Amino acid sequence: MTLMIDFPFPGVEPWVEHFKEVEIPVLRHTVHQLAELRDDAERINTRQLAAIIENDPLMTLRLFRYMAESRSSRSTAELTTVERALMMIGTQKFYADFQDLPVIEQQLKGYPKAMLGLLKVMARSRQAALWARDWAVLRQNPAFEEITLAALLHDFAEMLMWCFAPALATRTKERQAAAPHLRSASVQNEEYGVILDELSVELSTLWGLPHLLVTLMDPENANSPNVKNVKLAVDLARHTAVGWNNPALAEDYREIEALLHQGHSNFLERIGAPEELVAAARQAEDTENPFAP
């Protein structure tokens, strides 16, 4: 039985020690999809298997944790994609070592608010990964795969809290919703006893996650284009999840459009904003420059 934490730990080290021992659960849908392909393990396309894993951020995290634990001390190459990890493991060994996976829905059966909170974070992370990848390709960045993965896993510490400290995570989210002016780090520190970014850095290093995930959390790297690419995608996904009228979006747009050298209406269309927002932006641009072709 999974031990749920309902009190804050005093700092990052106790949380790291706790998560060292836990079995990371995965979505029931992931388990079913993997089971459907099991009989074809010898012939399966690793790209098809990778797509299933990448749709579940916690399954992705579990895979990279496994790779870090089983990697030879002589191996220094950093893995930056799920597909490369699968090619290194081999599909048959993957299925042999990833049996009887714990299921999130079962683990959170008595915590419906936490289950909903986790699903929202996962959906947000998938959207952030799609945007981060699109922008990296637009920027002709050869590290687009690493950027995609970093966006997908950026909020993994929050996901773990929903899974293993559901009462704390629910209270944290409710406090943030009731007082959005409060800094997230302050609320996290009060409720969890740790700031999630700090926990992410420690666990990313422990589990051998891509280096970009760690650099994302370092303020000294804030001006790096790759870090901006990921961080802005994560911010945009978080803010649009609240609604396309979120006042925080204006600053997001300004920074992303500067990074991508895109006009406002074209950018809104690119990210799939509501048609009325795109039309209003086009009208404003036409008014500002009526002689534009």
Query: Is 233 domain-assigned?
Result: no
Domains of the chain: total: 1
C-alpha span between 269 and 257 (Å, rounded): 12
pLDDT confidence band for 78 (50 / 70 / 90): low
H/E element, 218: none
Quote the CA–CA distance of 33 and 52 in Å, as a whole number. Answer: 7
The answer to whether 57 touches 152, Cβ cutoff 8 Å, is yes
pLDDT in tens, 194-212: 999 889 989 988 888 877 7
- Under DSSP, the state recorded for 103 is B
Does a structural domain hold residue 261? no
DSSP 38: G
What's the pLDDT at 41?
65
Q: Is residue 291 part of a domain?
A: no
Domain residues for the domain of 212 are 1-225
Domain-embedded: residue 206: yes
Note whether residue 127 is domain-resident: yes
Task: Describe the chain by its helix, strand, coil percentages, rounded to 5.
Answer: 70, 0, 30
> Does the pLDDT at position 140 exceed 90?
yes
CATH number at residue 33: 1.10.3210.10
With respect to residue 157, please indicate whether it lies within any of the assigned structural domains.
yes
Percentage, residues of the chain above pLDDT 90: 56
Task: Determine, yes or no, domain membership for 40.
Answer: yes
Structure tokens at 247: 């006042």
Residue with tokens 């006042």: 247
Q: Is the pLDDT of residue 39 over 70?
A: yes
Identify the CA nearest to 24 among candidates 69, 62, 67.
Answer: 62
In a domain, 256, yes or no: no
Digit-coded pLDDT (tens) for 245-278: 999 999 999 999 999 999 999 999 999 999 999 9
Q: What is the DSSP letter of 193?
A: S
SS3 category, 26: strand
> Which pLDDT value is given to residue 291?
52
Contact (CB, 8 A) for 61 and 207: yes
